[in-house]
Structure 1
Amino acid sequence: MGRSLSAFLAQNVEKVQAVRYAATERIQEDGKPVEWEIGCITGAQDAALRNQCTKQVLVRKHQYRETFDANAYLVKLAAASTLFPDLNNGELQKSYGAVDAESLLTAMLTPGELSAYELKVQEANGFDKPMEDTVEEAKN
């Protein structure tokens, strides 16, 4: 049986489906929680988010150590993956006093809701383990 690259062509690859999730019981329409829509970002988008959350910290003269802010990354990932509601909508941001998608997300959800939402976002993006578990494993 011969192998072919045709299965790898973009048009032949199954698309990742968006996930619906009620991030909070507090936002309701017709007495039911409104479902948010979470999409999967690309590898390039993920790399850009990771770069934004990675900093070089001076340890001693001419010696730097790389640090990664996992909390900032998870909020950025959640904001970038949210298809609905539109977290970049100016009217929505203004209503919460937010200046960008990340600050809007943290204003809209309680800490517990945000944590659960971040887990759902990671799942929608194909992560097998939550980021916190991965960070803890890397520390040990």
Structure 2
Amino acid sequence: MLSLNYALPPWVGLAITVIVCGGAFWKGGREEQLAAGGLMMSTLVTVFLSDRRWVGLQWSAFAADTCLLLLLTWIALRTERYWPLPAAAFQLLCVAIHVARLVDPGVRAWAYATGQVILSQWVFFAVGVGTINTWRASRRQFAASTAPPPTADPGATRR
């Protein structure tokens, strides 16, 4: 019988992390850079300190995700930008999955891991959208500051 594997290769998550966090550090504003730093720390803690057997609650990932939730919530409360709200909401769902596993150990490892991966990718997506929007706004601002001053009468000619 043919067995189908729907899992993404491990390099996909690494590529997303490098692209989003690298872009945030390169072209993002202060909020995007803080969020990218938090995402990188959370990812590193999760990758290096998690139990590979996925037996029970992943305490290191739970702690890292809770800290990231606090950071994203703090950013969302302090900024006028919109992207931190969905980022914090998706991160809250990541933490809720940990709590669900804590409350009900019957939650299967596959559901636990899959929920974590899917929701964390949405957090990366929100930070990526915020970085792109910040970069585009800075480009518009730069273009407006270097544009020649408008003439008094655009249809007038010199004599």
Q: Same fold (TM over 0.5)?
A: no
TM-score by length of 1: 0.25
Structure with the greater alpha carbon radius of gyration: 2
TM-score by length of 2: 0.24
Which structure has more relative contact order (CA 8 Å, sep 6+)? It is: 2
More strand by share: 1
